[in-house]
Amino acid sequence: MNQNEYWNSVAEEKNFTTVLDVELFSKYVSKDCKILDVGCGYGRILNELAEAGFTDLTGVDSAKNMIKRGLREYPELNLVANPDGVIPFENNFFDAVILFGVLTCVPDNESQQELLNNIKKVLKPGGIIYINDFLLNSGFKRRLFYKKAQKKTGIYGAFKTYDGATVRHHAEDYILELLSGFKTLDYKKFVIPTMNGNKSNSFGFIGELKK
């Protein structure tokens, strides 16, 4: 089962846990800005933004069943399926892009860098990115788990969940290097539950696209 097949198969049952800080986001993005949620899932984050008064919201997700669920639960949202993974918008189109719990679903370095490059294309110069995702967890048992999983995935921190998804927890220095094309405006670390109910180290990053 590939990643798209997995997410289509669980679209009705998974509830995501990454945390939106609306007050923080509002410091850098005004309510009328054009905002794109890449990997929007069923539209949970965009709905929170809409309830907070943001008005120009678009979401894309490669899993068409996630989009179907989102349009049913939040019919007022503009949600678009992009099963090929291409971000279907013109260059320099959006003021801000949200990327919540997406890097974890794109395990390999090359694909993550390609995703960030495509996001940079659709962002306006000086545009804002807001990322929330998972970091590596410490502890002897967790390190053994990552090392064992690495033999199958080839990536330290990447592993298969009990129900067949391949996900990744990231080293902090890797994440900061990946996001080096953005000027850091805010960066925080915290702990949140995963979609399967396990606690994990996580981070929130807000950055400005370097000109």
Q: How far is Cα of residue 201 from the mean position of the Cα atoms in its chain? A: 15
The answer to whether position 23 is within a domain reads yes
For residues 83 and 111, give the distance between their C-alpha atoms in angstroms, rounded to a whole number.
15
- Write the pLDDT tens digit of every residue in 25-47: 999 999 999 999 999 999 999 99
The answer to whether position 101 is within a domain reads yes
Q: Which of 100, 83, 109, 124 is nearest to 21 (CA)?
A: 100
The answer to whether position 153 is within a domain reads no
Domain range enclosing 123: 3-134+165-209
State the pTM of this model. 0.95
pLDDT of residue 1: 56
User: CATH no. for residue 198?
Assistant: 3.40.50.150
The answer to whether position 143 is within a domain reads no
Residues 6+ apart with CB under 8 A from 63: 4, 7, 8, 11, 41, 81, 83
For residues 134 and 203, give the distance between their C-alpha atoms in angstroms, rounded to a whole number.
6
For residues 209 and 211, give the distance between their C-alpha atoms in angstroms, rounded to a whole number.
6
The answer to whether position 149 is within a domain reads no
Residues 6+ apart with CB under 8 A from 211: 125, 126
The answer to whether position 148 is within a domain reads no
Q: Which of 38, 194, 174 is nearest to 109 (CA)?
A: 174
Cβ(155)–Cβ(108) below 8 Å: yes
pLDDT of residue 85: 86
Cβ(133)–Cβ(107) below 8 Å: no
- Judged by phi (left if over 0) then psi (alpha if -120 to 50, else beta), residue 157 lies in left
Which of the residues in the chain have pLDDT under 50?
none
pLDDT of residue 107: 92
- Write the pLDDT tens digit of every residue in 106-145: 999 999 999 999 999 999 999 999 999 999 999 999 999 9
pLDDT of residue 8: 86
Report the domain count for the chain: 1
Cβ(18)–Cβ(133) below 8 Å: yes
The answer to whether position 152 is within a domain reads no
CB atoms within 10 A of CB 54: 20
Torsion of CA 77, 111, 115, 202, to 10 degrees: 70
